[in-house]
């Protein structure tokens, strides 16, 4: 024990220094300035719900970065009737219970005027209940489950505050099916993380692609926590599909694609969910066969899309992935535009404006249907998104034909 006594005597000094730092960081003095600023009445607050920790932290960080960029742009254009707009972020951690409690905190303690989020479908369905109970506008950027807009349609009075900017699963499946048809794909493998939107998208795509003569050759989902990449990659390649659709918004997508390239170097892959829209990741994957990425918008799609990409890249040092950043950017932009049109942030006034209006964004002009779903698809006037193909030096838009 005498051997241990010297370090034990030293430890409290280290701890006392740490304790002092801890007390300072969490003291009222440290938070005083932001609290005062946030409390000023001329500031309008948007509550942003995204996972900043956990397996989807990368997507959540892009989400918040894009929302920040959108409010900066709104403020540079004069804010809303002269009032500045700020965002207050709640970290959902990718968990339903945390997402709901963070939504409640943003509404009751931070006094936000509207919510934007969450990220996963599971989280968003939970946050919908908070928005409905508080009668607060909720703009959903990326969560795709059909349950969100089904609830609005079935119980309009309760959920009329909820609007989805991103594509629903049937719309998403229609966009993918159109792309597969354009690439003359007959059989595809659908693999990805075993999370809710993937499981539902796999079923929806099978149903929507079937009339075009496109059928699944293999379907499998791996556990996000400890994925069995090797087996899924080998089995997908053994099924001899024309393309592998990789549905994973997280870090595992690049690991899986590496395994797939090793097992089947000439098998094309389509990444959905945004992860492989990251140029830094795409640069590490062999391009011995096409690697496609589905995105809401991409550089070159339109002047506003190019301007957004350049601003994002200039600000954050890397280009956006075109999904988990672009849709939140449009969600915040659209919300601010609705506040301006309504001349108010009151939900009762803003909801009819959102229902009837047309709102330009990076991906195109947003209009909502009766279930408060933005119109995506292959029809005239619908937002179409884009599919790009990675090549050495960057990505090229390959669909829809331009």
The footprint of another protein (CB under 8 A) covers: 1, 3-4, 7-8, 10-11, 14, 52, 55, 57-58, 60-62, 194, 220-223, 225-232, 234-235, 237-238, 250-252, 254-255, 258-259, 262-263, 265, 275, 278, 280-281, 283-286, 318
Minimum gap (Å) between residue 307 Cβ and another protein: 23
Between 329 and 366, CB nearer to another protein: 329
CA distance 368 to 164: 8
How many residues comprise the chain? 402
Whole-number Cα distances in Å, 239 to 217, 234, 313, 399: 6, 9, 39, 26
CA distance 65 to 54: 17
Q: Residue 7 burial (CB < 10 Å; 0-12/13-18/19+)? A: exposed
Which among 282, 226, 223, 293 is positioned nearest to 258, based on CA atoms?
282
Strand locations in 248-299 (E):
269-272, 291-295
Minimum gap (Å) between residue 285 Cβ and another protein: 7
Residues 6 or more apart whose CB falls under 8 angstroms from that of 212 comprise: 177, 180, 181
Minimum gap (Å) between residue 99 Cβ and another protein: 18
Between 250 and 361, CB nearer to another protein: 250
Between 4 and 157, CB nearer to another protein: 4
Element (DSSP H or E) covering residue 108:
helix 96-108
Cis peptide before 118 (omega within 30 of 0): yes
Between 8 and 29, CB nearer to another protein: 8
Minimum gap (Å) between residue 355 Cβ and another protein: 36
Minimum gap (Å) between residue 220 Cβ and another protein: 5
Between 55 and 361, CB nearer to another protein: 55
Cis peptide before 400 (omega within 30 of 0): yes
Residue 68 CA to chain centroid, in angstroms? 14
Between 51 and 364, CB nearer to another protein: 51
Minimum gap (Å) between residue 59 Cβ and another protein: 9
Between 183 and 261, CB nearer to another protein: 261
Q: DSSP characters for 215-243?
A: EEEEEEEE-SSS--HHHHHHHHHHT--SE
Minimum gap (Å) between residue 64 Cβ and another protein: 11
Whether 299 and 309 have beta carbons less than 8 Å apart is answered as yes
Between 7 and 401, CB nearer to another protein: 7
Minimum gap (Å) between residue 65 Cβ and another protein: 10
């Amino acid at each position: 024990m005498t051997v241990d006594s010297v370090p034990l005597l030293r430890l409290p000094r280290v701890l006392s220094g740490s304790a002092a730092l801890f007390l300072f960081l969490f003291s009222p003095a440290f938070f005083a300035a932001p609290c005062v600023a946030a409390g000023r009445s001329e500031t309008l607050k948007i509550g942003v719900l995204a996972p900043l920790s956990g397996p989807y932290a990368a997507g959540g960080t892009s989400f918040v970065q894009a929302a920040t960029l959108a409010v900066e742009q709104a403020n540079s254009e004069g804010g809303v009737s002269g009032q500045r707009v700020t965002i207050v972020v709640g970290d959902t951690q990718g968990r339903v219970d945390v997402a709901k409690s963070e939504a409640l905190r943003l509404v009751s303690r931070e006094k936000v005027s509207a919510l934007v989020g969450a990220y996963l479908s599971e989280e968003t369905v939970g946050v919908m209940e908070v928005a409905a109970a508080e009668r607060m506008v909720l703009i959903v950027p990326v969560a795709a489950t059909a349950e969100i807009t089904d609830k609005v349609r079935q119980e309009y009075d309760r959920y009329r505050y909820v609007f989805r900017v991103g594509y629903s699963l049937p719309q998403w499946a229609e966009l993918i099916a159109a792309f597969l048809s354009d690439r003359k794909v007959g059989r595809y493998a659908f693999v990805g993380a075993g999370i809710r939107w993937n499981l539902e998208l796999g079923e929806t795509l099978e149903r929507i692609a079937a009339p075009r003569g496109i059928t699944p050759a293999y379907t499998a989902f791996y556990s996000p926590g400890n994925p069995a990449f090797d087996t899924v990659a080998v089995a997908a390649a053994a099924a001899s599909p024309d393309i592998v659709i990789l549905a994973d918004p997280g870090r595992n997508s690049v690991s899986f694609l590496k395994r797939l390239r090793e097992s089947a170097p000439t098998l094309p892959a389509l990444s959905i969910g945004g992860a492989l829209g990251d140029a830094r990741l795409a640069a590490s994957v062999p391009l011995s066969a096409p690697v496609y990425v589905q995105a809401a918008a991409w550089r070159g799609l339109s002047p506003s899309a190019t301007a957004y990409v350049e601003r994002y890249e200039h600000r954050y040092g890397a280009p956006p992935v075109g999904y988990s950043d672009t849709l939140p950017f449009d969600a915040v932009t659209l919300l601010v535009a609705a506040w301006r049109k309504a001349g108010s942030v009151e939900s009762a006034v803003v909801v009819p404006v959102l229902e009837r209006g047309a709102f330009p964004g990076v991906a195109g002009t947003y209009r909502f249907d009766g279930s408060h779903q933005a119109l995506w698809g292959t029809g005239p006037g619908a937002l179409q998104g884009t599919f790009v193909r990675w090549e050495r030096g960057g990505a090229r838009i390959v669909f829809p034909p331009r």
